[in-house]
Structure 1
C-alpha cells in the first residue's frame, strides 16, 4: 500500500466516531475511544529470503519517514515519547488501556500529535536482531500511558 493510502486511512480514523464495542476491520481494530491500524505489517519469517526481508524493512522505514514528514507538515513537529516505562509497567502487571496496549508491546517509541481532543500516534517496531519491521497508527481520545 502507498503512503497516500496510509494518509487517507489515518485521516479516516481521525474523522470517524469510535464504536461502543471492539470491532475488527480490514485495516485494524477499533473500540471505545480508539482506532488502531497496521499500516505495514511484518512479514512471515518462514521465508528465509534475506533480500526480500531487507527490502520489506527498507520499504517500511521509507513509509514511516514519508508519513512522518507529511503529518509533521500538516500538524507540526510531533512529540516523541519513549514507551520503555509503559513496557516495564505492563510487564509488572499494570493494565495499559486497550488503545495503547498492543502498541506499547510492539514499539519502543511513538511520534505523537494532539489534534483537538484526539491523539494521533505513529509507531514503528524494528527487530533488534533481524529484519522485522512494522508500522502502525493509533487515533484515540485516551491519553498515552
Structure 2
C-alpha cells in the first residue's frame, strides 16, 4: 500500500461511523468508539541470525515516521503516548477501555493527534517475536488512559 493509500485509509476510517459491537472487516477491527486499521503487514522475515527482523522493524518505523510527517503537516505535532503504563495497569486488574487495552498489549508507544473530536494514532506493532510487523492506525473517540500520578 502506498503512502497515498494509507492516508486515504486513515481518512476513510476517520469519517466512518463506529459499530455498536466488535467486528472485523478485512484489515480493520472496529468496536464501539474505535477502528484499528492494518496499513501494512510484513511477510515472513526470520533469518537464522535474526538480522532481517531488525531491518523489517526499521522499515516499518520509517514508514510510520513518513506517514506521521504528513499528518503533522495537516494537524500539527503529535503527542507521544507510551502504552507501557497502560499495559501494567491492565495487568494489575484495572479495567482499561478499548481500543487502549488491546493496543497496549502489542505496541509500547503511539504517535497521537486529536482532531475534530477523534484521536488518530500510528504505531508499529508486533504481537510476538515470531509474528509479522504491522503498521497500524487507530481512530477513536475514547480518550486515552493517561498515566495517573500516584501521591
Q: What range describes the TM-score normalised by the shorter chain of this pair?
A: 0.7 to 0.9
Q: CA deviation at 1:37?
A: 1.1
5 Å matches for 1:25-44? 25-44=25-44
Aligned position for 2:47: 48
5 Å matches for 1:78-117? 78-117=78-117
Aligned position for 1:119: 119
8 Å contact 1:23–1:30 — kept in the other structure?
yes
Change (3 A) 1:31 1:126: closer
Give me the CA root mean square deviation. Answer: 2.5
Larger mean CA deviation between 81-90 and 92-101 belongs to: 92-101
Q: CA deviation at 1:58?
A: 3.5
Q: CA deviation at 1:25?
A: 1.0
Aligned position for 2:5: 5
Counterparts of 2:18 and 2:131, CA distance in 1:
34
TM-score, normalized by length of structure 1? 0.85
* Structure 2: gaps of 5 or more residues: 146-151
Aligned position for 2:136: 136
* Structure 1: gaps of 5 or more residues: none
8 Å contact 1:43–1:132 — kept in the other structure?
yes
Q: CA deviation at 1:51?
A: 6.1
Counterparts of 1:124 and 1:130, CA distance in 2:
15
Counterparts of 1:104 and 1:31, CA distance in 2:
16
Whose helix proportion is higher, 1 or 2?
1
